[in-house]
Structure 1
Amino acid sequence: MNRTRLLASAGAMAVTACMAGAALAQDKPERAAATSLEEIVVTAQKRTESVQNVPLAVTAMSGHDLVKAGATNIEALQTMVPNLNLGQQLGVARIALRGVGLDNLSTGAEGSIAFHVNGVFVSRSASALSSFYDLDRAEVLRGPQGTLYGRNATGGSINLITRRPDSDFSGYLNATAGNYHRTAVEGAINIPLGEKLAARIAIQTNDRDGYGRNIVTGNDIDDARARSVRASFLYKPGENTELLVVGDYHRENDHANGYHYLGGAGFTAAGQPITPYGLAFGGVVAPSRRDIANEADPVNRREIWGVSADLKHMVDQWTFRSISAYHYTNYATAADLDSTSFQLAPILQSERAWQTSQEFQALYDTDRTHAILGAYYFHESIKGGIADPTNDIIFGGPGVLRQGYFAGGSLKTKAAALFGQVAYKATDRLSLTMGGRYSWERKSIVDLLQFDLTRPYVLGAPVIPQAVCAEDLPSVPGCKPQESWSSFTPRASLDFRLDPNTLLYASVSRGFKSGTYNLGGVQPAIAPETVTAYESGVKAEMFDRRLRANVAAFYYDYKNLQVGKVVGATLLLENAATAKIYGLELEMRARPAPPLEIGLTGSYLHARFDNYVSVDPSRPAGDGVTFDHGAPAFDNAGNTLPQAPNWTLSLYGEYSADLSVGVLTFRGDSSWTDKVYYTAFNRSDVAQKQRAKLNASVNFTTSDKTITVTAFVRNIMDKTYVSNAFVSSALVGFPINGFLEEPRTYGVTLGYSF
């Protein structure tokens, strides 16, 4: 599907919606409620309000919307949110909004997009894939959000809000069976425990065979074995006080997240291609991208759990809130760095993280003034590393697997912030918002780098580092194992209500992501990155709320980008100079007739480096420029930022037919994404070309809404697309390793509600 045809179809759909809406506007007023779009209520600004009244670029999906769209994981959001790009590497979510994202996967790496569950910031990107069930809604805020949220973020925030307990005894159970022998169960039960206390227990299981196999062992890979449970308790001792306590647990134990071989990327200084060493030594790769050829199967083990307590107390126009949380993440993965059947360099990655946070808020609400004042404290301790046992045949040895490479250690973070925002309604139409945030952060490390070709590999053998950066230990010259950073980031916005259904707004804000360390690099700390963001937009509802159209335009001045790359055996992190980002986003939904709903989401993004010169180890000849120390390098000025496609477009249509026994609903979705680069060097062999996807479903719901039956098919054309890729280490001859999106899947879901 080419872009011109898709854009033409989108335009036709939009025109059709407007014309149909205009015709329906002549209907009697009493029909408006039956044909109007669902109002979505959000808490993006820490108060309950319609998403159409929020002067921010925010996309909100109700739990009902997510179920209709078949969104079963966070990756499904990228077809519903403009300029959102999602991928993963070794089970770690790579989230980018408007070109601002995560480009470092070393131990302790933290993304530029804040991820929240029930108001609690979750630091580890490996945890972002575990909470997508029994949701009340999902909110995605684009742009810096430091004046509203405890944890600062340069790119935006993803907020998942789970369903709260209430006073009714109710519940549901959904069971799914599909291809690849998939079986999945999701359910919840709501239990009132007296007049003041209620509980809700939710579960999710997901099991399936692999999307591919390891042709060496014959076993499935990219399978799933996951279990999740969440318990929520809501206590209301009085009319003005409530306490919400939520505990959750998630685990996985399968053979997912292995590397797929995507080709060779290395060249000599003379420009001759390098054969990846696993192939040069007699190994093979799988003929199909879905399969792998590794001497051992991939391993994915993770355990994630946490508990939070959200206490609210209201006094007149004031609401005082305390959010306390603890979160634990432990994961271990095993893959194959050379991606061949030759035992050259298996890769083992593990991370354990303990996180505590405390946030206090004071909110003030009147007819004309909405204010929030907050204080936030965050502490995290992380231990882990990446190990690459190395076959000494690479260096002319007899072919013994040695202890090889290890990069890791421990990282501790302490952060504190004061933040606040005041929105004042100067007139019935005009409002002014001012806010600011002061952030302070300190990181300390024990940074270890080992490259040991003397000891045979033994799992669990102690690390004997060749380079260390740590307090109270002999360290490399220039090592500074502790750094602190601070920043003040303001925000100002103006919004004007053109009429009761049309909101215009403009804002300027700054975002700050603290400096950090790249464990294993044994290098100085990386400087903070900052974004100055300018945004304007319009939110409108027309024809008795049968047509909704939101448009946002933005411009970012992005400085000191934290960019990662593989150098030799080490993943290094460096500050790219600057980037300029601007774009346009459109979200439309229409209900031109009571049984029909259609929607369109589109975005244009221009995300380019201004001046970024860097060495590409896999192409030592460079492109004619030299780095600071004289090495041949590449001038990346004008290159597109990773995970920042120029164009994206998504469409859906839904038609419901009333039957005597219930409602039958047909739904179709399509999405198209422009070319995505996964490296700052904009290599076409480390990218995904333009891609299109089609999904469809049929749902039947009984008249009493107790029983549902849904048949679905996703990725109808069964295309194999790359969700992330990178050029691997010089140790193994620069193969390209990647991860794939799901193939065609189909199945049936039976649901029962009471």
Structure 2
Amino acid sequence: MKNEASTSHFGKKALALAVASAFVAASGLTSVAAQAQEQAAADIETVTVTARKKVETIQDIPGVVNVLSRKQLRANGTGDAESLALNTPGVVYSETYAGASSPRITIRGVGDDDFNPNGSASAAIHVNGVYQGTNGLLNGQYFDIDRVEVLKGPQGTLYGRNATAGAVNILSKRPGFEFGGYIDLDIGNYGTYRGEGAVDLPVSETFLVRVAGMYESSDGFYEHLGTGPLTGFSYTPGVIAAQEEVAAQGDWGGADRQSARITAEWEASADTLVSARLTVGKDDSELAIPDVSADNWAEYAKSDAFFLNPQDPALVEFANALDNDPFTVYSNVLPKLDSDQHALHLQVDHDFVSGMTGTILLGYEALDREYETSDNMPIAMADYGFENDFSQFTVEARLAGDLADNIGWLVGAFMLKDDIDFGTNLRFLNSGLWQTDVRTDYQQERDSFGLFASSDWTPVDWFTLETGIRYSSDEVTFKGQTKNLDPYGVYGTPPKFFPAGEVYIGVPIDPNAPLLFDESLDDSEFTWKVSSIFTPAKQWRLYATVSTGYKAGGFDGSTILTPQEALPIDSETLVAYELGAKYRSDDGLLSAEVNLFNYDFEDYQSTAKLMVAGASTNVRANVADATIQGAELAFTLSPIEGLDIRAGGSFISSEIDNFQGEDATIEGNDLPFSPDTSWNLAVVYATPISEQFTLRTQLDASNTGEHYQTIDNNDLVDGYTVTNARIALEAEDWEVALWVRNLADKDYNVGYFPTTGLTPDTFLKGAPRTFGVNFMMNF
């Protein structure tokens, strides 16, 4: 039992958390009917979320905020960030060769086509309030989640740099006041085992500790066939080393990751709470191997295969061995991840006598990662090696209070310092492209600073005006070198097979003269936001917002082959306009929302073929202006007791304007990762079968429309729908469930890279049908 003193600050925090959790349920993202049963007198207007760094109801936020509970994420999703897209319309999840260890999150067509560690995503990811400078940090902390808040639209005021798409706040569970915890176990096909759990260890009435952990392993759903018919192949026998045999591995692509977190909360005084979190993670997972199917090899062979002769006897034998099963793969590389991650967060909250509140939040993140990836040919045509050493330190300080009963304010400052040492090897060793190994080593340092303020004024009960402003600055240095290692001494030799004749296509770097680069960037921007909220009736909120967003400038982290490719990229900015309406019935059985938005981009950042300083190069740069218009619809309905229906849809039209590169046909193209339509649907029915047990069934589907992954629009990813099902027997403290993901065994792509004449089209596949059993127990 807690004494009166211990209930002061911890009690207020616990109450706020309980109220927030209740509102998540009432908002329609969990069962409204169940909430009504548990709280017959529930007042849905008083419960809160913390999406905008203050206590407020989700109804009073002038924009779309999707709140996802841990139970919802695990019911139809996965143990990683893909579950965000499965539950949120307008969010696209995609992968690169690094797989789930470096996901790309796109919101409303605003995302990022760069997976290098020095590139910043457009959707600002925060874990327990701490900004994550690279998405490579995300999945190592994606466990023991209390809830996830997805804010859509630019968040340039409170979240600052790199929030042009929105912000994603991942909040882990806090320690409890009494001993207890949970165990959550999954066992599935493909040798899948996933365990997650936590235990609360209250040391005293004023010092609470929570220990949480996660372990995941699987065999993978690929069948690795080795180098197969291309064992011994050499592009130039006697000069280029023959391909060594890599034995067939059988099952491949399995997960092998572990994470742990210790959370401690200390009530230093009745008005001061100190929270600390230490997170460690290790990921030794096997990475995806792209497949060459018989069909796409046939397309490649009848095209101008610039660097390989499809009639070569070894390649003919290889073609005859191919099938159209996307999960039977040949490879000369066994791509694996070796990743270690550490995070330390410290937060101090204080309530002043004047009613003002203060928060100081410090965060340290570190990621040490190496991985190899393979092209889809089982010879060393275009294999890649990556080494990432990333660290960052952040500080955020905020003060908030009220000037009067109807005026609230918040001011704050933010500082980030990150250091990135990374290297890449491009191994074009056994092809007619370069026949060499190109090594680039980079060093990037960034100092970022921000000042922000926001206020809200409610002159009458039915109207609120909100304003915000932020100043952000970035200073970045970027230096390194690229070497042409030329292991075979064939630099300058024309390829022996090339449809245009003996034309030399070589690395523009002499083996005896490395390319050195040393550049810097000094960038700053003001962003602002103005919004108004009208309340014509208790059930309705109408809002209008005008805001700006800012994605900081930086540098291209791909292999630097020319001095022009090392030049700085300017910041990307946009102006966003939004109109919306929210409705929630008095009984909480129906809620609905509609949002209309228009984005105008300037200096849009992307990778394209450009003329930079008089030279033609393929580089990430400011390539265009762009526009996005769209609408989002969502509703939740509980028509009868125990039945919950939730659905949402996103409709987007995007266009590249005023393209600045060489290919004028790009003007008018779609933006990457901006499907015209996407939608989510979930139907959940819970029925009591006795006084002790409830049977809960769920059927859900998530659709991602066809879209492109680059502004060239030559890499169309077909639309797909993933359907999941789950049935659970629930008791008060435990449940057992059977689950199926990708129920229809849909063949779909989470990444696609079209041929450039070097290799056939490359596809990264989504998981096939998986199924298993889940056991969860609270204690």
Residue 608 of structure 1: aligned partner: 655
Aligned partner of 1:210 in structure 2 is 220
Alignment correspondent of 2:154: 144
| Native 8 Å contact 1:173 1:185 kept in 2 | yes
In structure 1, how many angstroms separate the alpha carbons of the residues matched to 2:109 and 2:607? Answer: 15
- Aligned CA distance change for structure 1 residues 178 and 450 (closer, same or farther; 3 Å): same
The question of 1:242 aligning with 2:252 is answered no
Asked if the contact 1:71/1:77 (under 8 Å) is kept, the reply is no
Which of 74, 81, 87 aligns to 1:80? It is 87
> Does the CA contact (< 8 Å) of 2:377 and 2:759 recur in 1?
no
Cα RMSD after superposing both structures: 2.8
Letter in 1 for 2:687: A
Does the 8 Å contact 1:178/1:746 carry over to 2?
A: yes
CA distance in 2: counterparts of 1:393 and 1:693, whole angstroms: 38
CA distance in 1, matches of 2:433, 2:694: 68
> What TM-score comes out, normalization by structure 1 length?
0.85
Indicate which of 695, 716, 720 corresponds to 2:747: 720
Distance 1:574 1:740, change over 3 A: same
Using the alignment, how far apart are the partners of 1:555 and 1:93 within structure 2?
26
Q: Secondary structure at the match of 1:576?
A: strand
| Aligned match of 2:202 | 192
- Asked if 1:748 is matched to 2:773, the reply is yes
Compute the displacement of 1:369 (Å): 2.2
Shift of 1:75: 0.8
Aligned partner letter, 1:180: Y
Deviations 1:662-683 (A, max 9, x none): 1110110012221121121222
Alpha-carbon spacing, 1:264–1:437, altered in 2? closer, same or farther (3 Å): farther
Aligned to 1:711: 738
What is the CA distance between 1:611 and its match in structure 2?
Answer: 2.8
Is structure 2 residue 183 aligned with structure 1 residue 173? Answer: yes
Note the 1:467-506 alignment, pairs <5 A. 467-470=515-518, 481-506=519-544
Instruction: Flag the 1:150–1:610 CA change in 2: closer, same or farther, 3 A.
Output: closer
In the TM superposition, residue 48 of structure 1 has moved relative to its aligned partner by: 2.4
C-alpha contact 2:160 2:550 (8 A) present in aligned 1? no
Q: State whether structure 2 residue 86 is matched by structure 1 residue 67.
A: no
Counterpart-to-counterpart distance in 2, 1:556 and 1:464: 49
Distance 1:265 1:412 in 2: 46
**More displaced stretch, 649-658 vs 365-374:** 365-374
C-alpha displacement at 1:367, in angstroms? 3.8
Contact preservation (8 Å) 2:76, 2:724: no
- Cα gap change, 1:363/1:249 in structure 2, threshold over 3 Å: closer, same or farther? same
Match of 2:56 in 1: 49
Note the alpha carbon deviations across 1:588-624, whole angstroms, 9 max, x for none. Answer: 111111210001110101111123264xxxxxxxxxx
Q: Say if 2:414 is the partner of 1:414.
A: no
Paired with 1:364 and 1:547, the residues of 2 have a C-alpha distance of 34
2:389 pairs with one of 345, 348, 352: 352
Match of 2:728 among 675, 678, 699: 699
Match of 2:332 in 1: 295
Q: CA deviation at 1:317?
A: 2.1
Which residue in the other structure is 1:682 paired with? 713
3-state DSSP class of the match of 2:136? helix
State the AA in 1 paired with 2:583. A
1:630-649 to 2 correspondence within 5 Å? 633-649=663-679
User: Aligned in 2, Cα 1:495/1:298: closer, same or farther, shift over 3 Å?
Assistant: same
Q: Distance in 1 between matches of 2:292 and 2:484?
A: 25
Which deviates more from structure 2 when the two are superposed, residues 354-363 or residues 443-452? 443-452
1:229 to 250, 260, 266: 260
The correspondence for 1:582, drawn from 629, 632, 649, is 629
Cα offset, 1:140, TM superposition: 0.6
User: What's the counterpart of residue 702 of structure 2?
Assistant: 671
For residues 539-550 of structure 1, what are the structure 2 equivalents within 5 Å? Answer: 539-550=582-593
Q: 1:76 to 1:38 in 2, by over 3 A?
A: farther
- Matched AA of 1:297: L
Deviations 1:137-162 (A, max 9, x none): 10111111121126452111111000
State the alpha-carbon separation in 2 of the partners of residues 39 and 651 from structure 1.
28
Equivalent-residue separation in structure 2 for 1:456 and 1:310 (angstroms): 57
Shift of residue 424 of structure 1? 1.1
> Partner amino acid for 1:746?
F
Match of 2:51, SS state, is: coil
Give the 3-state SS of the residue equivalent to 2:655 in structure 1: strand
* Counterpart amino acid of residue 517 in structure 2: C
Contact 1:278/1:344 (8 A) holds in 2: no
Determine the structure 1 residue equivalent to 2:118.
108
Would the aligned equivalents of 1:214 and 1:297 in 2 still touch at CA under 8 Å? no
CA contact (8 A) 1:40 1:61 kept: no
Question: Structure 1's 39 and 597: CA in aligned 2 closer, same or farther, altered over 3 A?
Answer: farther
Q: Specify the SS of the correspondent of 1:561.
A: strand
Residue 8 of structure 1 corresponds to none
Matches within 5 A, 1:307-386: 307-315=344-352, 316-337=354-375, 339-365=376-402, 367-386=405-424
Q: Offset of 1:583 from its aligned partner? A: 0.4
2:581 — aligned with what?
538
Does the C-alpha gap of structure 1 residues 428 and 505 become closer, same or farther in structure 2, counting only changes over 3 Å? same
**What SS is found at the alignment partner of 1:77?**
helix
User: Could you say if the C-alpha distance between residues 121 and 265 of structure 1 is closer, same or farther in structure 2, counting changes exceeding 3 Å?
Assistant: farther
Alignment of 1:419-568 (within 5 A): 419-454=452-487, 466-470=514-518, 481-519=519-557, 520-521=559-560, 522=563, 523=565, 524-565=567-608
In 2, Cα distance between equivalents of 1:249 and 1:202: 11
- Give the Cα–Cα distance (whole angstroms) in 2 for the partners of residues 112 and 274 of structure 1: 36
Whichever residue aligns with residue 658 of structure 2, its letter is N
Match for 1:321: what amino acid?
T
Return the offset for 1:276: 6.2
Please, which runs of 5 or more residues in structure 1 have no aligned partner?
Answer: 1-23, 458-462, 471-480, 615-626, 628-632
Cα distance between partner residues in 2 of 1:265 and 1:58: 47
Could you say which residue in structure 2 is the equivalent of 1:662?
Answer: 693
Aligned-residue offset at 1:77: 1.2
Read off the aligned partner of 1:564 and give its amino acid letter: T
Q: Among residues 403, 427, 432, which one is paired with 1:394 in the alignment?
A: 432
One-letter amino acid of the structure 2 residue matched with residue 752 of structure 1: M
Decide which moves more: 253-262 or 507-516.
Answer: 253-262
**2:3 alignment partner in structure 1:** none
Match of 1:99 among 85, 97, 109: 109
Q: Distance in 1 between matches of 2:69 and 2:684?
A: 16
How far apart, CA to CA, are the structure 2 residues paired with 1:320 and 1:486? 27
| Paired residues, number | 682
Task: Name the amino acid aligned to 2:305.
Answer: I
Counterpart secondary structure, 2:486: strand
Q: Relative to structure 1, is the Cα distance of residues 345 and 140 closer, same or farther in structure 2, using a 3 angstrom cutoff?
A: same
The structure-2 alpha-carbon separation of the partners of 1:30 and 1:441, relative to structure 1 and needing over 3 Å to count, comes to closer
Contact in 2 for aligned 1:611/1:635 (Cα 8 Å)? no
Cα distance in structure 2, aligned partners of 1:490 and 1:70: 35
Partner of 2:73, secondary structure, is: helix
Instruction: Give the match's secondary structure for 1:327.
Output: strand
Q: In 2, distance between residues paired with 1:467 and 1:164?
A: 50
Cα distance in structure 2, aligned partners of 1:393 and 1:569: 24
